[in-house]
Amino acid sequence: MTKFFEVKHQSKKSGARLGVIHTDHGDIQTPEFMPVGTQATVKTLDPRDLNEAGAQIILGNAYHLHLRPGENLIKKMGGLAKFMNWHKPTLTDSGGFQVFSLDKEFEVRGVKDSQNLRGKSLVKISENGVAFRSYLDGSWHLFTPESAIQIQHKIGADIIMAFDQCTKDDAPLQESIEAMERTHRWAKQCVEYHQKQKPLHKYQQRLFGIIQGGQFKDLRIKSAKFITSLPFDGIAIGGESIGYNMEITEKIMTWLKPLLPEDKPRYTMGVGFSPFDLFAVVEMGIDMFDCVAPTRLARNGALYISPKAGGNIKNKYRININNAEFIEDKGPIDPWCDCKTCKGFDGKNFFSRSYLHHLLKTNEIEGLRLASIHNVRFMLKVMEEIRAAIAKDKFEKLKKDWIK
């Protein structure tokens, strides 16, 4: 039997490392950024777009997929990869984060009786699990550690996540303790349930645990020790702070670095808002990370640029293509980027900033897609360069070239 994860090369000067994750849907060269396809599709992109962007693994979300189309349908259709016509590795988040951010969703999207619901708690967390109302129709649903795993078994991603209680970025001590302890008890239940179930698919599903503990050093250390003591296939670091607050993220990583096992993939959940964030976590020995930012930013017209296109300052890593300065700009988004938008589908005729400006201004769907193609490929190309640099022990030099 093939090993699930192998470290191929360990950087001498930092935590950066090269590895391979083996799944029955193919290998994943790490470290790698994972594009997010919440509802079984990376917004605006098709499987060929993702292949051309160099994506190795796509994320789905158990919470959203449970609501629509439902885990039973996806199982009937042969599992997530087959259902979405993406025949490579997939990973599902357990829904812990969505349950945490649900109140916000209610406000943003609204449901029929949202006026009456406002101010009332829509999520009830108990030791048993989380009861929550669907943001679509207000119906009640219950996620328990067992049901979250069962749902993910049915959805059938290669990698599934334990059900956790996500801690807010600014959560106080007591709240962080309670969430962490609950996360630990649930983690054990998830492992037990996962181990005793018969496989639902012909391919193997791997379970990752999630470290919580908020912004508190002793909690994070305690959580790391507990989660790594369980027989998980990989170790994730969770909590709203991760990725959202990079200063804290880096601090947390400093605490956790010595405690994370060498032989398991490490995953920071929610990292990848900017290209610079990728360097920060790779340096700390992280192998996997995901973020909705590249596609969400793209749909708002925020396009990543490399140092070659003037993106060398930490707070100027993207342009807003909606700005008037791009109306007559005949150039590509970024001469460094080799995405289909910057090089053209035929490799000869790129899409101009002027045309992209026009598409975004006129709300043309094609603009959202061309922008998403760019941002996703941009991040994955950064990852390719990072992996090549680690292999040559030049990661630190590459990081300097990017973060001047």
CB distance 22 to 2 below 8 Å: yes
Q: Which of 5, 83, 163, 226 binds a copy of itself (CB under 8 A)?
A: 83
Question: Least distance to a copy of itself from the beta carbon of 108, Å?
Answer: 14
Q: For a copy of itself, give the closer residue by CB, 370 or 383.
A: 370
Count the Cβ atoms, other than its own, within 10 Å of residue 345.
12
Q: Does 109 bind a copy of itself (CB under 8 A)?
A: no
Q: Does 327 bind a copy of itself (CB under 8 A)?
A: yes
Q: Which of 354, 393, 394, 396 binds a copy of itself (CB under 8 A)?
A: 354
Q: Which of 248, 370, 379, 383 binds a copy of itself (CB under 8 A)?
A: 370
Q: For a copy of itself, give the closer residue by CB, 14 or 352.
A: 352
Q: For a copy of itself, give the closer residue by CB, 248 or 371.
A: 371
Q: Which residues pair with 19 in a beta bridge?
A: 7, 30
- 290 catalytic? Reply is yes
Q: Which of 84, 260, 280, 383 binds a copy of itself (CB under 8 A)?
A: 84
Separation of alpha carbons 286 and 136, rounded Å: 35
Distance of CA 6 to the CA centre of its chain: 21
Q: Which stretch binds a copy of itself (CB under 8 A): 45-53, 126-134, 168-176, 225-233?
A: 45-53
Q: Which of 6, 46, 175, 338 binds a copy of itself (CB under 8 A)?
A: 46
Which residue carries 């993406």 as its tokens? Answer: 86
Buried b (16+ CB within 10 A) or exposed e, 194-233: beeeeeebeebbbbbbbbbbbbbeebbbbbbebbbebebb
- 93 catalytic? Reply is yes
Separation of alpha carbons 27 and 204, rounded Å: 13
Q: Which of 2, 8, 13, 48 binds a copy of itself (CB under 8 A)?
A: 48
CB distance 41 to 121 below 8 Å: no
Contacts of 110 (CB under 8 A, 6+ apart): none
Nearest to 276 by CA among 295, 262, 257, 289: 289
Q: For a copy of itself, give the closer residue by CB, 6 or 329.
A: 329
Q: Which of 2, 8, 73, 400 binds a copy of itself (CB under 8 A)?
A: 73
Question: Least distance to a copy of itself from the beta carbon of 261, Å?
Answer: 37
The DSSP bridge pattern shows strands 140-143 and 130-133 to be antiparallel
Task: Please give the helix or strand (H or E) that residue 381 lies within, else none.
Answer: helix 365-391
Q: Does 335 bind a copy of itself (CB under 8 A)?
A: no
Q: Does 115 bind a copy of itself (CB under 8 A)?
A: no
Question: Least distance to a copy of itself from the beta carbon of 363, Å?
Answer: 9
- Among 93, 103, 158, 287, the active-site one is 93
CB distance 297 to 249 below 8 Å: no
Per rule CB under 8 A, count of chain residues that contact a copy of itself: 44
Q: Which of 142, 173, 365, 388 binds a copy of itself (CB under 8 A)?
A: 365
3-state secondary structure 162-193: CCCCCCCCCCCHHHHHHHHHHHHHHHHHHHHH
> Residues in the site for a copy of itself, rule: CB under 8 A?
39-48, 68-69, 73, 76-77, 83-85, 87, 327-328, 330, 340, 344-346, 349-352, 354-355, 357-359, 361-362, 364-370
- Which residues belong to the active site? 93, 290
